[in-house]
Homo-oligomer: A and B are copies of this chain.
Amino acid sequence: MFKALIHITLKESILDPQGSAVKKGLESLGFSDVTDVRVGKYLEISLEASGKSEAENKVLEMCKKLLANPVIENYEYELVEG
């Protein structure tokens, strides 16, 4: 059994309305020292695989086919066993 820890974030050049909204919220609560906020997705996926490389291939495929939009998003993942 493997667990993939996946981060999906917007590419730098892409406007982040969610991040701007969180920044405004923080400012309204008095956090005036916040200079930037970027909001992304964090997924933990448990999957069966015969070995680490098979697990890695599956995770890459999942990111490309469903989890990340390659036009506007980047993805990073880490695989842990168990």
Contact = CB atoms under 8 A, between A and B. Distances in A.
- Chain A interface size, as a band, is 20 to 34
A14 to B, nearest CB: 14
Contacts of A49: 33
Contacts of A37: 43-46
Interface in A1-32: 1, 7-9, 19, 22, 25-26, 29, 31
A78 interface: no
A35 interface: yes
A77 B46 CA distance: 22
Interface of A: 1, 7-9, 19, 22, 25-26, 29, 31, 33-49, 58, 61-62, 65-67
